[in-house]
Amino acid sequence: MITQATLDLLDADIRNDVARYNSYPFKDRHKLYSHSIRIDPFWSNSKTAEIKPLIWSEYYKYSEHPNFEKIIKTNDIGIYIMYVRPEHLLLEMPQHVMYVGISGEHGSARPLKERLMDYFLISKIKLRNNIHMMLQLYYDHVYIRYALFKGKYQDLEKLESTLHEFYYPKFGKRDFEPDTKAAQSAWNAGL
């Protein structure tokens, strides 16, 4: 169980960085908050056929510290997305998936609720530079949704890769398919 003192430490640590980034002049903020996205309807459409129907949870605002140990009643593995959205949407936009993850990697059978609770321990967050940076930039605007998964972990790992291809998340780097990794490497080589 995560204590309030631990959550207060998390808030204090990350909010200091949030305040620092928010104080930057607009020209610097523009660089920090502008991300490349892939809009390839043909590719995305080909991936949707691979995505098995899932029952997604409601959304949970990260900065409100949802207690997934109590919210999720089973020890099932699962998949989750972390996405960013402003407080006010227009036509349900903009919302951008920034990270896709799973629990139970490599057959560990680690429950999804335990995996999600790692994101509320500053010591674990700081071990993951991509997640730490995402939270520093978007702390009050990060939302989490999840889906429990009944099946083989290999199928869940494939689903994670497929959702990476579909959403092209900014802060998810390692779970792309080989063709995407090769294209990223080729196009980024000259930058």
Residue 190 lies inside a defined structural domain of this protein? no
Give 133's contacts (C-beta < 8 A, 6+ positions apart).
171
Residue 62 lies inside a defined structural domain of this protein? yes
- Read off the pLDDT of residues 4-22 as tens digits, 9 standing for 90 and up: 888 888 888 999 999 999 9
% residues pLDDT > 70 (the chain): 98
Q: What is the mean pLDDT of the chain?
A: 91
Residue 65 lies inside a defined structural domain of this protein? yes
Number of domains in the chain: 1
Q: How confident is the model at residue 188 (pLDDT cuts 50, 70, 90)?
A: low
**Distance, CA of 27 to CA of 174 (rounded, Å):** 30
- Read off the pLDDT of residues 97-110 as tens digits, 9 standing for 90 and up: 999 999 999 899 99
pLDDT at 190: 42
Range of the domain at 26: 4-178
Give the residue, 170 or 188, on which the prediction is more confident. 170
* C-alpha radius of gyration, the chain, whole number: 17
- Asked if pLDDT for residue 119 goes beyond 80, the answer is yes
Preceding amide of 94 cis, omega within 30: yes
Could you give the residue ranges of the DSSP H alpha helices within 63-177?
Answer: 68-71, 112-117, 122-125, 129-138, 153-167
Residue 183 lies inside a defined structural domain of this protein? no
pLDDT at 185: 78
Q: Take residue 102 and report the two structure tokens written for it.
A: 């799973």
Residue 58 lies inside a defined structural domain of this protein? yes
pTM (predicted TM-score)? 0.91
- Read off the pLDDT of residues 26-84 as tens digits, 9 standing for 90 and up: 999 999 899 888 888 888 888 888 887 899 999 999 999 999 999 999 999 999 999 99
Measured from the Cβ of residue 60, the count of other Cβ atoms closer than 10 Å reads 18
pLDDT at 175: 77
% residues pLDDT > 90 (the chain): 68
Residue 191 lies inside a defined structural domain of this protein? no
Residue 26 lies inside a defined structural domain of this protein? yes
Residue 167 lies inside a defined structural domain of this protein? yes
Give 169's contacts (C-beta < 8 A, 6+ positions apart).
81, 97, 98, 99, 100
